[in-house]
């Protein structure tokens, strides 16, 4: 995986974070070290993801969401706006 344009390291994206080329990362998003964003995932503006998180394919993280460290969001998950998810949580595929 590589960073999808216009994503750039240093604008809240840790150099060890990986983003699939088909993923959408909006302005003001912060991704922690070791975080992985998979195919066709969409991270809305000003969401913050901690270290070693996984966002599965076709998932959406709405604006203003705060996600702790080591959180796994499986594929086809919708996280609505302004939610906080604590460390170590796993969210099953297809959860709305």
Note the pLDDT tens digit of each residue in 5-54.
555 555 799 999 999 999 999 999 999 999 999 999 999 999 999 999 99
pLDDT at residue 2, rounded to an integer = 46
52 three-state secondary structure: coil
Residue 47 tokens, joined: 């969401």
CATH homologous superfamily of 18-91: Hexapeptide repeat proteins (2.160.10.10)
So where are the chain's domains?
Answer: 18-91
pLDDT class of 1 with cuts at 50, 70, 90: very low
95 phi and psi angles, rounded to 5 deg: -75, 135
pLDDT at residue 30, rounded to an integer = 97
How far is it, in rounded angstroms, from Cα 8 to Cα 84?
25
């Amino acid at each position: 995986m590589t960073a999808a344009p216009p994503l750039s390291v240093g604008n809240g994206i840790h150099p060890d974070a990986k983003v699939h080329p088909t993923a959408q990362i909006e302005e003001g998003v912060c991704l922690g070290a070791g975080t992985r964003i998979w195919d066709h995932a969409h991270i809305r503006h000003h969401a913050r993801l901690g270290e070693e998180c996984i966002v599965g394919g076709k998932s959406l993280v709405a604006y203003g969401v705060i996600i702790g460290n080591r959180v796994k969001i499986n594929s086809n998950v919708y996280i609505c706006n302004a939610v906080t998810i604590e460390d170590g949580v796993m969210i099953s595929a297809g959860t709305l």
